[in-house]
Amino acid sequence: MGICDNRTIIVTGSGSGLGRTYALALAAEGANVVVNDINADAANGVVAEIKAAGGAAVAGIDDITSMAGAANIIKAGVDAFGDVHGVVNNAGIVRDRMFASMSEDEWDLVIKVHMKGHFCIANTLVKHWRAQVKDGKKVDARIINTSSGAGLQGSIGQSNYAAAKGGIASLTLVQAAELGRYGITANALAPAARTGMTEGPFGEIMKKPTDGSFDYYAPENVAPLVVWLCSPLSAKVSGRVFEVEGGKVSVANGWKTGTIADNKARWNPADLTAVIEGLIAKDPAPQKVYGT
């Protein structure tokens, strides 16, 4: 018996990297997995791995950045397993460039894959779950989004990626606030692990140890939290962003209203210098941007 028995979970971008480890871990805990990847060979390969281990899976190779593609991925899960109970929005790309040198295409593509990809499949699923609720069915559904440390505190050379991931963190808060009435939770991950997207900038730091010691940046270290978030055990947790790396897990402490200076009237612009300096001095300094 596993903690995800009888649940069907879509994992986007699960033909390799973190997504593949999520799919394998979910299947090991009893979930039926829809392995989504636009690389059909990669998706079918993960499906074969899951089935060889005694699990249940089906491939969904449509593009997550269109509503039609999202609908087809969901249909693959419903046709194979009767329903879908959650999605792990994992698919992503990077097009790293210093902000002053970034092209319009580099900006648009990263925003599309991350933000629109998160929107299309979650929006389509939410409509599916809301219809079930209106028909009197009890729903216990999950949206697990993927943010990033770059989205929470910024990252030099990744303004497009950081903006998308910051937007996803905010999206998660809104989803949680709006969708709880339907039995849907929404949470997000900010994982640190060795994947195709981190091999370039962090390859030396994240390389696999050769001495048999704990592989701190192995993507498999992130998977247990994903499995738990997809399970019924997480039903009371929503609207949170979890940072996870190695054996560490924490709940991110995001933007909050800081110390307030109230003039009880309109400010004189020149007077704000001392006021702003005082406010900044009173509140904790933000974490440093990655790369600074």
215 neighbors 187 (Cβ within 8 angstroms): no
Residue 22 falls in the annotated catalytic set: no
Residue 148 falls in the annotated catalytic set: yes
Catalytic option among 22, 161, 217, 290: 161
For 29, which DSSP code?
A: T
Task: Please tell me the total number of residues recorded for the chain in this structure.
Answer: 292
Instruction: Report in angstroms the alpha-carbon separations of 48 from 36, 51, 145, 242.
Output: 13, 5, 25, 30
Catalytic option among 148, 155, 159, 231: 148
Helix boundaries (H) for 29-179: 40-52, 67-81, 104-111, 117-134, 149-153, 159-179
Copy the structure tokens of residue 203: 């390859």
Look at strands 32-36 and 56-60 and give their pairing.
parallel
Spatial neighbors of 100 by CB under 8 A, at least 6 apart, are none
Q: How far is CA 56 from the centre of its chain?
A: 23
Catalytic option among 155, 159, 165, 234: 165
> Phi and psi of 14, rounded to 5°?
-105, 20
- Nearest Cα residue to 227 out of 64, 48, 78, 55: 55
Residue 165 falls in the annotated catalytic set: yes
Spatial neighbors of 57 by CB under 8 A, at least 6 apart, are 23, 27, 32, 33, 34, 35, 46, 47, 50, 51
Whose tokens are 């995001």? That residue is: 254
39 neighbors 15 (Cβ within 8 angstroms): yes
151 neighbors 115 (Cβ within 8 angstroms): no
Q: Give the residue numbers marked as catalytic.
A: 148, 161, 165
